[in-house]
Amino acid sequence: MKRLTDRVVLITGAASGIGAALAVECARGGADTVLLDRRVGPLRDVTRTVRALKRRALGVRCDVSRDADVPRGVAVARRQFGHIDIVIADAGFEVTGQVSELTLDDFRRQFETNVFGVLRTVYATLDDLKQSRGSLVLVGSMLGSLALPGTAAYAMSKFAVRALAETLRFELGEAGVSVTLVTPGNVTTNIRRTDNHGELHLALKDPIPVITVGHIRGRREPGRT
């Protein structure tokens, strides 16, 4: 974690789950953070938590499914910190259901966040990462290699993220930018309490027993997102 000292880390999907846990761990490692998420209240809470660790944190409302939001958030980060060293594209949600039950709009909605949201993040930060010879981290899933019944939309999106990461690893290597794909299993997040429209329902019980996000420190596979 010493390599994070005084680095600036930008994280999408930072208001909860893996993104929030990574924000805290990066701060503990000495990094300043730019936290992007569309949920203002939880984002404010995570930002306060990071600042309590005596590191600078900037929370910016951002919906990665909108073309203008990520560049705007990155522009704010540049003005505040002057550079970006590490980008973690974590924002995502899960559309569930058998193919026969889903519509094309369900698949489009899934890809707008999980695939095009990642691409928007890459495009918005690429010049910064080349300048800093930094690191790009794409959060995939174990379902980016294994598709199961009822997971078609989500698995397709994570297969696409894996393909993107493998391609970028070659394309950005000469520019000195490292590319890492994280392929989590199940952890405690709100993803299974989120409906097919990306709306959170906290009253829903998580149907899958999982390890906790608090256990990700030092693990290479922090959890499903």
pLDDT of residue 52 exceeding 50, the answer is yes
Catalytic residues: 154
pLDDT of residue 95 exceeding 90, the answer is yes
Q: Which of 121, 110, 124, 205 is nearest to 157 (CA)?
A: 110
pLDDT at 47: 98
Task: Give the integer Cα–Cα distance in Å for 64 and 116.
Answer: 8
Does any domain span residue 90? Answer: yes
Task: Give the integer Cα–Cα distance in Å for 80 and 117.
Answer: 23
Does any domain span residue 221? Answer: no
Higher pLDDT residue, 221 or 26? 26
Per cent of the chain over pLDDT 90 is 80
Does any domain span residue 210? Answer: yes
Task: Give the integer Cα–Cα distance in Å for 56 and 58.
Answer: 7
Where does the pLDDT of residue 121 fall: very low under 50, low under 70, confident under 90, or very high at 90 and above? very high
Q: Global pTM?
A: 0.83
The whole-number average pLDDT for the span 107-132 is: 98
Does any domain span residue 85? Answer: yes
pLDDT at 3: 81
Question: Looking at the 3D structure of the chain, how many domains does it have?
Answer: 1
Where does the pLDDT of residue 74 fall: very low under 50, low under 70, confident under 90, or very high at 90 and above? very high
Does any domain span residue 8? Answer: yes
pLDDT at 186: 74
Does any domain span residue 222? Answer: no
The whole-number average pLDDT for the span 208-219 is: 41
Cβ-contact 10, 34 below 8 angstroms? yes
pLDDT at 39: 96
Where does the pLDDT of residue 147 fall: very low under 50, low under 70, confident under 90, or very high at 90 and above? very high
State which residues form the domain around 39.
2-215
* CATH code of the domain in which 129 resides: 3.40.50.720
Tell me which amino acid residue 108 is: R
Tell me, rounded to whole angstroms, the distance of Cα 159 from its chain centroid: 15
Does any domain span residue 33? Answer: yes
Does any domain span residue 224? Answer: no
Q: Which of 180, 158, 5, 162 is nearest to 93 (CA)?
A: 158
